[in-house]
Structure 1
């Protein structure tokens, strides 16, 4: 697949660039360059308001079908939007879990009633979502979840614990993978539930990270309730739905992510010039390798584009994660290496430099969203057809 844009696409690029320039002003001017991984605490209320502004402008759900409120834009134009969004330094999205994960899942597996109920809130930026997958003892091994849900009195009653739940403290809803058939084991007997967060049975506790911030959370369900109709797919089919969500986790927004990576790399190069580290042949070679590998990430993403909204992709997301996570981690190491001893000094007792945040937060890149080991196992089994490794997660 060739990522070259026609004249009409470039006109669309100008439209996106013009809208961002006109709207990242006034009350939203201070949001430029804020948010994102490791910095989700920044200007959170302003960024929630920014989601609503995006919704008003029609910039959410760009690839969704028109019948479901989207704009049915081509993948080329979606790429253009994400590239221009990153180039403008627009703030890290707090609605991406709803738009990039839950929305496409409902397009694939949801009922007409579920799409009509939940998609408008995502498209308008007025309802935020979080993901209830990982648990203590069931992070990489997702099939080992122990959170349980029982259907009683026309509702689902949910008990259990989730962990590493991004932005749960700001979410209105959570899609929860829970065991609804206690007689089944592993990936059988699970259901995919849509659970309101603002209720007495839900408690959120922030987890303080190496960076001193807390964008991840523990979430406890103590007889939390969900409507009987708020199960995506049939009860017991949660594993299939959950795998569908994971498969769409990294779509065209990958290009925006890569634009952010490019800005980080540019900053590291500028730092190397300023510190004199660029004269070190080893540092220069690592910087060149980083640039080359980032181009490879882009070309790989181009080759895996074109999966229509509402269909289930294959293992493309696993391959992408296995490629970008170690690359980003190496960039964090490079960021502090070019500073040398200065990288050990913080600007204040509670402050970190951008290089320090990059280094510390990227330690988790090869773990969250499925560890590298899990990605390799999935690729081996589902893409290459290799046998399942005994005694390990699946």
Structure 2
């Protein structure tokens, strides 16, 4: 099928099948469970999954769309044209799915990947522990192999979405006598078992996307060991590269969209001769917009380079470092431009957008910490991208 035919058929199908509630509905990852739990979202997911379009570039053998680069670009453009949300989202698609395709056995791929694509199973990440965050390799959750099962005891923290997840991918220590980066294994485990206890952590934004997760003789099957025993550190690092490479890559709708910061500033600060009335606000908006545009071009360049088939490398830490900074400064700027109206927590005197701006500003204080702090990303970039010495 040529690209023009594909575009026309895709446009027609999307218009006929994407519910209105799944269009023009941007959301923060903290709200993903609520957004994707509605009846419309489930219908949309099932329709997209039936075509393999929840994972459009994944192999058809596992239920994916099998799209090449050019076809996928057209698909993204048509999705952007109607501002459609992806058919599904989450760590299954962004993290463990790509990792299993690289490191998993064929049996593991056949068992897990199709259910990620259909949305039957959702995933969470078991990496950080109290005292083992930035120094992840010091993790202490133990896993003892006995009778074909790993018996897990310990604690994970900041496990995003654990209260909603069906499965977890986790780093566990299987050889306590080995060096810090050795003796770690990468396992998959069912979250619906008596040995797993989950406690959501309330944040200042009012939500609880992160959790504490406790293992008390929890079980992971030996067949769900990914790669080799005691060789999980390499798998775990690769998964983080896939996570960082999942920085925003949605195609933009053709045409010049209105600058959202300028719209907010003109509404709350006012304008003179078509310009934002405050020069300092104009300067901040220009700097933020330039940073975002630069990020978009960098993502595009790396995505095009990935056509060579290479897995994402250490340069993906740039996405996490810059992307998290952009997100944090974006929410701060949106709140600041509203003045006192952007500092409202509750009350009838504030609009829904004003309340969202305040909560977004509070929520995004954590963006440069979770998923690998900015300090850790800078260390990775300095050593593995720039090749700088340790001292």
Structure 2 length-normalised TM: 0.87
Matches within 5 A, 1:244-393: 244-251=238-245, 254-256=248-250, 266-277=259-270, 278-305=276-303, 306-307=305-306, 311-348=310-347, 353-388=355-390
Aligned to 1:183: 177
Contact kept? 2:247, 2:323, Cα under 8 Å: no
Q: Is the alpha carbon distance of 1:293 and 1:136 closer, same or farther for their aligned partners in structure 2, counting shifts above 3 Å?
A: same
Aligned to 1:42: 34
Aligned to 1:202: 196
Q: Which has the higher contact order (CA 8 A, sep 6+)?
A: 1
Q: Is the alpha carbon distance of 1:257 and 1:80 closer, same or farther for their aligned partners in structure 2, counting shifts above 3 Å?
A: closer
Stretches of structure 2 lacking an aligned partner (at least 5 in a row): 271-275
Q: For 2:128 and 2:315, how far apart are their aligned partners in 1? A: 21
Q: Secondary structure at the match of 2:248?
A: helix
Q: For 1:135 and 1:49, how far apart are their aligned partners in 2? A: 37
Q: Is the alpha carbon distance of 1:244 and 1:41 closer, same or farther for their aligned partners in structure 2, counting shifts above 3 Å?
A: closer
Q: For 1:124 and 1:309, how far apart are their aligned partners in 2? A: 28
Matches within 5 A, 1:166-181: 166-181=160-175
Q: For 2:86 and 2:163, how far apart are their aligned partners in 1? A: 16
Aligned to 2:273: none
Q: For 1:359 and 1:83, how far apart are their aligned partners in 2? A: 30
181-190 vs 345-354, which moves further:
345-354
357-366 vs 184-193, which moves further:
357-366
Q: For 1:348 and 1:57, how far apart are their aligned partners in 2? A: 45
Contact kept? 1:34, 1:42, Cα under 8 Å: no
Stretches of structure 1 lacking an aligned partner (at least 5 in a row): 1-6, 390-394
Aligned residues: 378
Q: For 1:309 and 1:156, how far apart are their aligned partners in 2? A: 38
Q: For 2:358 and 2:75, how far apart are their aligned partners in 1? A: 29
Task: String of CA shifts for 1:231-276, please: whole Å, max 9, x gaps.
Answer: 10001110000111111114466213988xx98x843322211112
33-42 vs 51-60, which moves further:
33-42
Q: Secondary structure at the match of 1:194?
A: strand
247-256 vs 218-227, which moves further:
247-256
Task: String of CA shifts for 1:133-158, please: whole Å, max 9, x gaps.
Answer: 11111122211111111101210111
Task: String of CA shifts for 1:26-66, please: whole Å, max 9, x gaps.
Answer: xx737851643343353452245643343123212222233
Q: For 1:308 and 1:201, how far apart are their aligned partners in 2? A: 43
Q: Secondary structure at the match of 2:187?
A: strand
Q: Secondary structure at the match of 2:233?
A: helix
Q: Is the alpha carbon distance of 1:325 and 1:232 closer, same or farther for their aligned partners in structure 2, counting shifts above 3 Å?
A: same
Matches within 5 A, 1:6-155: 9=3, 12-25=6-19, 29=21, 33=25, 35-40=27-32, 42-46=34-38, 47=41, 50-82=44-76, 84-85=78-79, 88-91=82-85, 95-155=89-149
Q: For 1:43 and 1:123, how far apart are their aligned partners in 2? A: 18
272-281 vs 45-54, which moves further:
45-54
Q: For 1:309 and 1:220, how far apart are their aligned partners in 2? A: 41
Task: String of CA shifts for 1:142-190, please: whole Å, max 9, x gaps.
Answer: 1111111110121011111111112111111100110011111321110
Contact kept? 2:88, 2:119, Cα under 8 Å: no
Q: For 2:309 and 2:223, how far apart are their aligned partners in 1? A: 21
Q: For 1:181 and 1:136, how far apart are their aligned partners in 2? A: 20
Q: CA deviation at 1:83?
A: 5.6
164-173 vs 94-103, which moves further:
94-103
Q: CA deviation at 1:382?
A: 1.4
Structure 1 length-normalised TM: 0.86
